[in-house]
Amino acid sequence: MADSGSEDIAVIGNTDLTPSESENNLKNTMVEKGTSLLKRMEISVAEAEKRTGKNAVNMQETYTVYLIETRPVDAASEGTNPVPDSLWRRYSEFELLRNYLLVTYPFVVVPPLPEKRAEFVWHKLSADNMDPDFVERRRVGLENFLLRVASHPVLSSDKIFYSFLTEENGWKETVFETGFQAKADSRLKALNATFRVKNPDKRFAEMKHYGDELQSVISQLLRVRAVGENKVSTAEYAAQSIRKSPFSPTKRAADRLYGVYKVHGNYGRVFSEWSAIEKEMGDGLQSAGHHMDAYAASVDDILEEEEHYADQLKEYLFYADALRAVCRKHELTQYELEMAAQDLTSKKQQREELATGTVRTFSLKGMTSKLFGQETPEQREAKLKMLETQIEEGEELVKERNEECDEFVKSAWVDIERFKEQKDHDLREALISYAIMQISMCKKGIQVWNNAKECFSKM
Amino acid sequence: MSAGTPRSLASSGQKSIQDICHPLSAEESALSRSPDVLNPSGAGEKDLSLPNGTPVDTSSPASSSSLLNRLQLDDDLDGETRDLFVTVDDPKKHVSTMETYITYRVCTKTTRTEFDLPDYSVRRRYQDFDWLRNKLEESQPTHLIPPLPEKFVMKGVVDRFSEEFVETRRKALDKFLKRVADHPVLSFNEHFNAFLSAKDLNKRQGLALLTKMGESVKYVTGGYKLRGRPIEFAAMGDYLDVFTQKLGTIDRIAQRIIKEQSEFLMELREYGPVYSSWSSFEEELHDPLEGVAGCVSNCSSALDELTEDMSEDFLPVLREYVLYIESMKNVLKKRDQVQAEYETKLEAVVFREDKKTPVPTDVEKCQDRVECFNADLKADWDRWQNNKRQDFRQLLTGMADKNIQYYEKCLAAWESLIPLLQDKQEARGETN
């Protein structure tokens, strides 16, 4: 909710857009609402490859590139199966794309990228950026990112996004040419606004709080499960370790589960050795031992699947950040409106004082004029005139900012609602598949132990 | 003391070994035995009921054939021909000025005439069981005596009066008495009888007997060198060595699993509250998340039970067998000693100049001792092998069962969650 004096003129997007640009955006969004890119085009991140090359400081580096394949939807359905268009991109280009989207559409909860470095990854799986498993999971995450953007009502129609998918060369230059980097809000400015804003929209404040809580709760879940090699919140983790019992300060759930299953494998070996000295019992023991081995081996699949669940949670962990970013942007626009309004009010006040000659509030001007004498009528006239101009401009500014604020609130809230629905749906699905996975794990456990039991009963 | 004159077969402690030989040990037909050995005090009495015995070689004297019928029993028979039933239950704490201790009720039901009454119910404490075992070891040195649960517990580490500890001990004591009761020789031991029936177990009674049996019981002669151990006993020794090793390994594995499970449980217990607190700030997802929290909590309880069961039921039995094996190895050593003594004495005689003098009774006695010992041991060994097989079948099947139950509990919890998770979706449909 903007401050006093609201007149609604719709302005979408960044306030620094020229009128023609914003018109264009408006048209694009309205036209392509509901017909997201994904409906017209198949997108996938098909492969990953290692490359070596010289980096910016002319040093050799190894990096991974990902193959993005696109194909028009119609072509596939017509029966012909044309070769998809494809190009290679590296992670940093994805980052660039995302940063562009963040700045250009600050009212959108922009889908997150998969993590840059492996945090919260159970260490027996991949934690190294070059590790094939890590690369694979990242590939999936990047594809997910592209699909999310391509199905977003606003983002999917962005030209830069389109060329990211279709134009391998020169894309970077095109992005920089938009000058988006200059439009980015400085962190300091944003932080300042967060602290000083007086009347932010309650809903946004609540959403920001929600984002905080979501982030906290998902972090906790991930941390109970495993802590990765590059611990971000080392202090927090250390605090947790101290609180833990002396027996297991650093091992986490995934490690423990792994241990439980793997140690059963030792039964396999000892049963085999034992069966060698037994006559009638030997066969039963031996075969039971094999089932113990199978049991031990089954944990690898289980933990892979759990890692998938962890990835789903992680996406929303990062989404929480994006949500908070939108809320912060609101605080910024609101703050700027408040500043403009405050400025206007003070200018009006000055005019009044000047016009009536009364000094209401303490001001330096007031003091100096008391000390050094009043101004001449001509001086006063000049000042008044200047103030009038400033007030006019100020009113324009307030009106503008008010509109920006309103518009931002409107469009941001639309996207937040969309995000909420998506989040509820996705997390519910994630919980369902988690439950299904647990069920499958239990069934396998029952089967293995039943097999073992049969062998034991034949001893 | 209640029983009538113990029959010769049962209480070998009262007669010199020479006169008595194990009725079930006739597998070695090479055994030379005085023909009247079986029933010096009247053969036909039907009191010689041996509830479960190993099959008997028919080459033994005819008077044992009547036993044969009773002896050819299936080990797995559920007490149809059993005539002695013993249970240990009802632990109670006793507090006196001097000490605090637990007693257990020992109930006996029997039709044997060695007992005055058909029913007994007495209270015994661990000390009494310990006394009984020592007495059995002394009076039946050629037999394998089942083990008792460990005597000493470190105060401060284990709570001697905790429910779990008492229950574990009770089970082990019950098993001990049952094993003795099922043994065709040990079950007729007069000390066992006294243990089961005497109102007030006067331990001093044992002393009188002890002095009587003193000489004939001294098998651990020591100092004699063994020439050649018969293959079968050597094999027994080897088997026990390897088996102990394997049991030790299994014990370590089981302990490690319990530890890992306990620590996993600790982590698991952290999940539930996190899901709960998550649900508190969600709307649509409130019920699903709360459901997950509950599920995780159920799985935690199930895991807790599994770990407890393994600790209380599985590990003690393993350890019991290790103790059993230790005492068996001692018996094997004793056997070696008896054989060594015989061989040495025999050698001394053989090298005498006058070959016409009959073999001195001294040496004959030794020979009998050896043969009886071997026979007893073999029979007990076979019995032990059988029991071991059953025990481990039961133990491992039990372990499998507990794990199955754990997974079934978890499965039920997660399966019941699915409809809860899916429910809203159908109810809401397309609407928001």
CB-based contact B125:B93 (threshold 8 Å): no
Give how far B403 is from chain A: nearest CA, Å. Answer: 7
pLDDT per residue as tens, chain A (459 positions): 444 433 333 333 344 444 444 444 443 333 333 457 777 788 888 888 888 887 778 888 888 889 998 888 765 556 666 777 889 999 999 999 999 999 999 999 999 999 877 666 666 555 566 677 788 888 999 999 999 999 999 999 999 999 999 888 899 999 999 888 888 888 888 889 989 999 899 999 999 999 999 999 999 999 888 764 333 344 444 444 444 433 333 458 888 899 999 999 999 999 999 999 998 889 999 999 999 999 999 999 998 888 889 999 999 999 999 999 999 999 999 999 999 999 999 999 888 888 776 655 666 666 666 666 666 778 888 888 888 999 999 999 999 999 999 999 999 999 999 999 999 999 999 999 999 999 999 999 999 999 999 999 998
Q: Are B404 and A449 in contact (CB under 8 A)?
A: yes
Contact check, Cβ <8 Å, B284/A424:
yes
Contact A260 B261 (CB under 8 A): yes
Inter-residue contact A178 to A104 (CB < 8 Å): yes
Using the beta-carbon criterion (under 8 Å), do A445 and B403 form an inter-chain contact? yes
Side-chain half-sphere of B85: how many Cα atoms within 13 Å? 9
Residue B219: band (very low, low, confident or very high) from pLDDT cuts 50, 70, 90: very low
Please give the single-letter amino acid code of residue B363: V
Of A251, A252, A446, the CB nearest to B404: A446
Residues in chain A within 8 Å Cβ distance of B422? 432
**Chain A residue with the nearest C-alpha to that of B419:** A432
Cross-chain Cβ contact B397/A456 below 8 Å: yes
Nearest to B260 among A213, A259, A270 (CB): A259
Q: Which of residues 410-439 of A touch B (CB under 8 A)?
A: 421, 424, 427-428, 431-432, 434-436, 438-439
Q: DSSP letter for B284, please.
A: T
What mean pLDDT comes out for the span B368-378? 89
Do residues B204 and B125 make contact, with C-beta atoms less than 8 angstroms apart? no
B112 close to B94: Cβ distance less than 8 angstroms: no
pLDDT score, position B424: 63
Three-class SS of residue A331? helix
Q: Which residues of B touch A237 (CB under 8 A)?
A: none
A250 CB near a chain B CB, below 8 Å?
Answer: no
Which residues of chain B have a CB within 8 Å of the CB of A446? 404, 407-408, 411
Written as six digits, the tokens of A174 are 């095109």
Chain A residue at shortest CA distance from B390:
A459
Q: Give the pLDDT score at A248.
A: 33
Task: Give the H or E element holding residue B106.
Answer: strand B100-110
Give the pLDDT confidence of B126-161 residue by residue, as tens digits: 989 999 999 998 898 888 999 888 877 666 666 777
Q: Which residues does chain B have within 8 Å of residue A227's beta carbon, measured at their own beta carbons?
A: none
CA gap B87, B117 in Å, rounded:
16
Mark yes or no for CB contact A442/B285 under 8 Å.
no
- Whole-angstrom distance, CA of residue A449 vs CA of residue B397: 9
Say how far apart CA A437 and CA A225 lie, in whole Å: 16
Q: List b or e across A208-241, with b for residues whose CB sees 16 or more CB atoms inside 10 angstroms.
A: bebbebbbebbbbbbbbbbbbeeeeeeeeeeebe
Look at B407 and A224 and tell me if their CB atoms are within 8 Å: no
A459 touches chain B (CB under 8 A): yes
Which of B256, B292, B414 best tests the A interface by mutation, with the highest count of A CBs <10 A?
B414
Tell me if B264 and A288 make a contact (CB, 8 A cut-off): no
Residues with Cβ within 8 Å of B267's Cβ and at least 6 positions away in sequence, in order, are A224, A225, A252, A253, A256
Locate A118 and state its tokens.
């492996």
